[in-house]
Structure 1
């Protein structure tokens, strides 16, 4: 399985993801400059965290018009995998690959911390290595990470079981005190209806190496790898 990590001007977590996919998981990985137009060789596209185009206008607003993004959309429509982390999640909502929007944090402060998350579903490849209801801790670093969606969109997400991660306390309770940024329904990550496009504000790549004190994030990649390996073993 080959990963491609999109590099926008202002991306700053691209090398972190590459370290996970290439050095820890030993998967072929290439950095994809935002002006490239051929990603046909890739199985998984990752839109990393950072400040694409300086986050001018609105986070992800300019990146959606980058030459690479029409090809990322085509990649997704082919049923391939896409992961958007932090700024990457913002770009996915701007392009319409995921619903809703990421807006200014509730208290208008930049948040840099480690937060508990509850795994809401494990029947998609991305989270198949976790247990439903499992509590993990991942780093967050954002100023515009408050997930917002209109009532109808929110209902569709809930009814369609598209909420993958929620902010919760260490006991798994989901309430306002465990919500770091004011996201509606404590939403920290969502997927599309196929489960192949995932957007999340927390950074799994920053919790994937024992040297960093946590490996809660690497199971996200392990689940995807296990799914892809299983698919290859199935008879045609």
Structure 2
């Protein structure tokens, strides 16, 4: 049997061994650990096998990989008083582990809350048409604001993408009616432009014919020929210009 005195030596030794084993920390390639010594910042330790003394040192692991964070759907009132529901996705990574641990309590939660408020703030300054047509610009504006505010937390915002802009049924119908009205307006404008160009051509032709009576006579004859070629035409009533009659009589007198 093990004597009582021997146990007095084995117990502390076992405790020291256990503490020594617990002191080892394996840090992956994409991780860093922020070490505090008696509550004060000591170092940021790189990947590998690291020792952190329990009770004296505290270690916080920080993942340096890109984080993909969904921004929950937000109710946004646009500048033209249209209520829409918008959600987005945020891409960021920690570039300064020391700041991410010391400057903010929970950098993931803080970044998510900041992204939500920034999304509402930026989109609320734009009309609905701008939200739908200038999404790339809005993404950049939101990214720039979040990146600037998270810089003190050691975070770099890589990208922001607006995923969906949801409208209620009445707004969808209103936009459809607006699009239809816009198509009708464009059709009328094109038709009016065609009429204007045709009238210009007719005016130009009238000026040329008025300066050359023979051209007018040829045009009348061509019109008669076109009408006579139609099979369903039995009787033709056509105004015959007096100038043609006068020209024919003048030639007859000369003959």
Higher helix proportion (structure 1 or 2): 2
Structure 1 or 2, whichever has the larger Rg, is 2
**TM-score bracket relative to the smaller structure:** under 0.3
For normalisation by structure 2, the TM-score amounts to 0.20
Higher relative contact order (CA 8 A, sep 6+): 1
